[in-house]
Amino acid sequence: MLREDLTIFPNTPQIQSLFNPTPINPMTAFVARSCYKYNQLQRNKQQRIVIQHIPSKHRPNEQRQISLPRALQAIKKQQLESLRRQSHQKDGTVSLVFSDVKQEELILQKIDKFQYLQHKLQTSNDDLVDEKKSNMNELKKSTSKIKNVIENDKTRTILQNILGGMQQKIDEVAHENHMRIMGMQIKSFKLQEQQSIRSKAMSQEKERETSKSYAEKRDLYSRSVQKRRHQSPSNKMKNISQQSMKTNQNFRFSLTDYSSLSREQLFQMKLLSYHYLIFIVSTQSNFYVQPSENVTELKFKVGKGNNSLLIKELFKSRWWWNLNQEADNRELNFIWTQIKVPQFMNLQEWSKDPFITRQKSLSQTSTDLRKTRRQQQSPKNNKQSYKFGKFDDPLQKLIIEQDVNELKSLEKSIQSFIKYAEKKDLKLIENVNKIHNHIERNYHLGNKKAMFHNMKKYYELTKQELFLHLPITFHVSGLKDKSYQQFMEYYKQKKGNNIWIVKPGEFTNRGNGIIVCQSLAEIHKIVSKRQVHPNGKPFTYLIQKYIEKPFLYNKRKFDIRCYFLITQLNNIIRAYWYEEGYIRTSSEEFDIKDVSNQYVHLTNDAIQKYSEAYGKYENGNKLSFAEFQRYLDKWHSNEHLNFYKDLYPQLKMITLNAIKSVYHKIEPYKRNYNFEIFGLDFMIDEKFQPYLIEINTNPCLELSSPLLGRIIPAMVENAFRLSIDTLIPPPEQSTWPPNKKHLLFYDNMLENNRFQLIFDEREDAHELKMLYSNQSNDDQIDEMDEEEEEYQSDDD
């Protein structure tokens, strides 16, 4: 169909709205015909024909295709529109104008031909489809019949073979134990033969598991002979006890050992191991809390900041505690805050025993312990191996050496725990009302100037060199201070690079106020300022020698973050070292000439997180100890540096000295039940020598990297088990609701404990009392420092 066959004028509004004048598509003929019929009816009704001759215009050669659905929709719209107009204007006329009457007749003829052909094609297609469907149905019916016949034949043959095979024997003499079934020879075994085959297979497997090669046995024998040659009798006895500890499986819980237990039995075993850990820790503080048979209402409160969500999340597994943020201090049983709350601590119970009599009783017990030690070997070497060595038994981490064997052989049950407490005359505690996550006078460790003076005094009394473990430090209050004059003399004697760090003596949180100075004039300018705190006290400063040649990690500076825990339970102070820590790296390469760049010299997370290169080299600028050791093995292999052997014991020793230096000052009133987590920051010089930089009373608990997400929650959880859970243990198994049993920790609590006991008041108090017996204590200055520390918290 050509374009000349259908000449529809573009000025006609009904058709112009449907399509642009283009080469004619068969669909356009249908549209034109329907429009023509409609207009013809209108003309016959009103008996009025208006023919207007409009000259045709040249149409562009654009090609456009109109689909059938769209064309039908357009026709319906036009019909509705015309009816609407007819209702409003009864006298109106609608006209469709063609260029010529002859062309009109030709168009109608061609439209009729096109519709006839289209109808013929559709009918032929429908006939073909019907024929195909009928053929397919006949094929399906025939195939189904054939399948049924085949299946029937198969079943018949199978049944015949089975029946024939069961009745037929092949050779009665040679094959009397064989039968032929479906063409196969099958041997019929007796029960005795089957049992003998199984026993043989089991014995072979046992032989494979237990047997060792001749070479392995020879190596083991040669090693044992060499050990025997170099061992003393005392060491032989020690190794025998260690071997018995290894073979004892009382503390090990594995799926293979307890796979036969039901859920309820496994729950009871886990809860008993939980109570056993709590019993062990409490006996070392001369008390025991029996698990309650009735659930009492316990309220706790968590202060804002420093990842308070982590503390709330850890308490969810302790369903016997209820979070109450609006409760009064008198109603609360436990409170967790960034800084200590004196109003809450004043409500705690004081120790009923006087401090002097308590020290005397402790000194008697410690002297008895020392006598037994001297008989075996020197106390110093024993102490070092006990506190800084490796432990074959997890009990050795938490209790003194004399109690290991007795507690290990104890039967694991609540009744036996109570009998042991009565036998040892331990204090049986029923209710613990108030627990705080801070100890009294903790500023002696957390305040930088207080820590410096305490450690300086302790190192003087023990005749040790302080500045082997601390950077050279001067605490000054002004230009006329004697300490500042001593600093001036030291500064003049020092040659080469003379870089110092000036820290505020108060409010040194998150690296605030720390300035790296390259000249004496800069230091003089800072110290000469006369500033006063809001409480009216003057500013003081710590002038500390900068470690100009630090040990670098990939050309960048770093420090080491470690943790320790102090518990004050039943009037006995104990300190634990946490085995895991991490390394904080700086974001930019170390350059001693550029002292103004904090991202080079200060590794505090509160400062480094604003650097553009933060997290570029390490995730969150954090490294594990194992990653650091791999770096040493790769890049310092010639120096044979070992973090765990060369450095790690020194970190623990410096921490123990810091704790001993403040023992006679912290907890003077001996509140019965408190604990606190401390964070330590160390740095290393190029000689792999560690230095203690500071101790934080409120270490950062933010999980800024996956490494911290593994270390910090586990550290806080372990701390809660040694403190809160020891004072208020989980209820007995009969009081556990069924929907709460899944909250029980399904890890091995004793083996997974990462805290190591490094200070026990029962052993170390007498020595420290004698050391400080002739020394005066200026409590007035200490109280002033405490007020300064309570103005704001330390997040880092």
Q: Where are the domains of the chain?
A: 3-99, 261-446+453-468+549-581+624-791, 472-546
pLDDT on residue 79: 76
Count Cβ neighbours within 10 Å for each residue of 143-164 and write b for 16 or more, e otherwise: eeeeeeeeeeeeeeeeeeeeee
**pLDDT: is 216 or 202 the higher one?**
202
Angle at which helices 706-722 and 308-316 cross, to 10°: 60
Q: Please determine, for residue 211, whether its predicted confidence score (pLDDT) is greater than 60.
A: no
3-state class (DSSP) for residue 73: helix
Report the distance separating Cα 765 and Cα 440, nearest Å: 18
Q: Please determine, for residue 523, whether its predicted confidence score (pLDDT) is greater than 70.
A: yes
DSSP of 514-571: -EEESSHHHHHHHHT---B-TTSPBP-EEEEE--SSB--BTTB-EEEEEEEEEEEETT
- The string of pLDDT tens digits covering residues 228-287 is 444 443 343 334 334 433 333 344 445 555 667 788 888 998 899 999 999 999 999 999
**pLDDT: is 128 or 265 the higher one?**
265
Instruction: Please tell me which of 108-112, 320-324, 786-790 the model is most confident about, judged by mean pLDDT.
Output: 320-324
Report the distance separating Cα 350 and Cα 671, nearest Å: 5
Q: Does the CA dihedral 162-166-169-173 come out positive or negative?
A: positive
Q: Please determine, for residue 111, whether its predicted confidence score (pLDDT) is greater than 50.
A: yes
**What does the block give as tokens for 297?**
């209402």
Report the distance separating Cα 111 and Cα 618, nearest Å: 79
Angle at 36 (CA atoms; ends 32, 39), nearest 5 degrees: 140
One-letter amino acid of 730: P
CA atoms within 13 A on the CB side of 629: 11
Weakest-pLDDT range from 27-36, 60-69, 619-628 = 60-69
pLDDT on residue 4: 43
- At 480, the pLDDT band (50, 70, 90 cuts) reads confident
- At 558, the pLDDT band (50, 70, 90 cuts) reads very high
Mean pLDDT across 432-437 = 89
CATH architecture for the domain at 261-446+453-468+549-581+624-791: 2-Layer Sandwich (3.30)
Report the distance separating Cα 249 and Cα 412, nearest Å: 13
Secondary structure letter of residue 403 according to DSSP: G
Counting residues of the chain whose pLDDT is more than 70, the rounded percentage is: 61
Q: What is the mean pLDDT of the chain?
A: 75
Report the distance separating Cα 701 and Cα 717, nearest Å: 12
Phi-psi region of 397 (alpha: psi -120 to 50; beta: other; left: phi over 0): alpha
pLDDT on residue 80: 79
Mean pLDDT across 169-196 = 47
Report the distance separating Cα 328 and Cα 113, nearest Å: 97
Q: Please determine, for residue 104, whether its predicted confidence score (pLDDT) is greater than 80.
A: no
Selection from 506, 560, 556 nearest residue 534 by Cα: 506
CA atoms within 13 A on the CB side of 32: 27
Weakest-pLDDT range from 279-283, 386-390, 638-642, 663-667 = 386-390
Element (H, E) at 222: helix 214-230
Contact present, 399 and 280 (Cβ < 8 Å): yes
Report the distance separating Cα 682 and Cα 469, nearest Å: 10
Q: Please determine, for residue 58, whether its predicted confidence score (pLDDT) is greater than 50.
A: no
**What does the block give as tokens for 532?**
């006063």
Q: Please determine, for residue 577, whether its predicted confidence score (pLDDT) is greater than 80.
A: yes
Angle at 789 (CA atoms; ends 788, 792), nearest 5 degrees: 105
Report the distance separating Cα 777 and Cα 774, nearest Å: 10
Please, which residues bridge with residue 585 across strands?
558
pLDDT on residue 160: 65
Report the distance separating Cα 613 and Cα 383, nearest Å: 45
Q: In sequence order, what are the residues at sequence separation of 6 or more whose Cβ sits closer than 8 angstroms to the Cβ of residue 98?
A: 7, 8, 9, 104
* Distances from the Cα of 649 to the Cα of 394, 577, 581, angstroms: 19, 11, 13
Q: Please determine, for residue 21, whether its predicted confidence score (pLDDT) is greater than 80.
A: no
Selection from 744, 722, 719, 742 nearest residue 731 by Cα: 744
Contact present, 117 and 4 (Cβ < 8 Å): no
* Residue keyed to tokens 């043959």: 157
Secondary structure letter of residue 189 according to DSSP: -
Report the distance separating Cα 538 and Cα 31, nearest Å: 99
Neighbours of 181 (CB within 10 A): 13
Q: Please determine, for residue 63, whether its predicted confidence score (pLDDT) is greater than 90.
A: no
Weakest-pLDDT range from 137-141, 218-222, 314-318 = 218-222
pLDDT on residue 716: 97
Angle at 128 (CA atoms; ends 125, 132), nearest 5 degrees: 140
Contact present, 540 and 475 (Cβ < 8 Å): yes
**What does the block give as tokens for 328?**
């009064």
Phi-psi region of 305 (alpha: psi -120 to 50; beta: other; left: phi over 0): left
* Residue keyed to tokens 């654009």: 62
Q: Please determine, for residue 322, whether its predicted confidence score (pLDDT) is greater than 90.
A: yes
* Distances from the Cα of 98 to the Cα of 74, 312, 321, angstroms: 21, 86, 93
Counting residues of the chain whose pLDDT is more than 90, the rounded percentage is: 40
* Distances from the Cα of 556 to the Cα of 336, 552, 583, angstroms: 36, 5, 12
Q: Is the pTM of this model over 0.85?
A: no
